[in-house]
Amino acid sequence: MFGRATIRARILYQVLATVLVLPFAFPLLWVVLVSFQGQGARANYAAVFTQTPFLQFITNSLIISAGTVVTVTLCTLLAGFALSKLEMPGKQLLFMAVVAGLMLPGIALTVPMFLIIRELGLFNNYVAVIGPLSAIILPMTVLLTRNYMRNVPDELLDAAKIDGATSFTTLVRVVVPLSRAIVAVVIVWSFLNAWNEFFLPLLFLTDPGMQAVTQIPTYFTSTYGSDVPKIFAALTLMCLPIVVTYVAFQRHFERGLTAGAIKD
């Protein structure tokens, strides 16, 4: 960026980079290293699978995440398309109403959600988590998608209309294929938020058979005491899916986060 660098400059940058980034590496390393202590890596990791309902937790989280991703993606594509390309009175108002949801700290909904879910008897029901979670994720994804879809050339849509396509067909056959990038971002973003969600499962999933992956650490300490290497083994396994997803979809993560953030 700043032109050809001298050897001295190279060393300086390298050292600086290392010094700055090392503190981030330590906690990650510690978790993995400690998980190898105690009774040894194999025993610890095996114990996570055999002595605890770990796989059950993972399955539950997959269900929640899948449900959220599907819900959010469908709602987002429909709404994003309409808000960017279709005519409707009050479109701006609707858009503001959706985006206003971004400002809400979910915690402010604790009491009403708890009371409503209890009235409806939806405890230990994944809908109680997927619903509110989707509602909280939607403002962001709709914002990103609508901005992205705006850039789809209107000529393509007009061409489709001339060919006799309905708005829905246009969405499916023209807009979505062109929006693959943002669809990937929406999927990754909602998966990330759903998989990492702690508060909603804490409130609404009390049956250990239904609990999510984020409740593993508390469940382990409550029931199995403080065998730290095993707990850390569980943490490593718990984070593995997300890290793998990130590595695989790195570009989409990054594009998604920056897309809505830098441009207006």
Task: Enumerate residues 16-35 that contact other proteins by CB under 8 A.
Answer: 16-18, 20-21, 23-28, 30-31, 34
Which CB sits closer to other proteins, 1 or 155? 1
Asked if residues 217 and 225 have their Cβ atoms less than 8 Å apart, the reply is no
Among 43, 55, 104, 248, binds other proteins (CB under 8 A): 104
Total of residues contacting other proteins (CB under 8 A): 123
Task: Enumerate residues 70-99 that contact other proteins by CB under 8 A.
Answer: 70-71, 74-76, 78-79, 81-83, 86-89, 91, 94, 97-98
The reply on whether position 208 binds other proteins by CB under 8 A is yes
Task: Enumerate residues 229-248 that contact other proteins by CB under 8 A.
Answer: 231-232, 235, 238-239, 242-243, 245-247
In the bound complex, what is the minimum distance in angstroms from residue 2's beta carbon to other proteins? Answer: 6
Among 47, 48, 69, 113, binds other proteins (CB under 8 A): 113
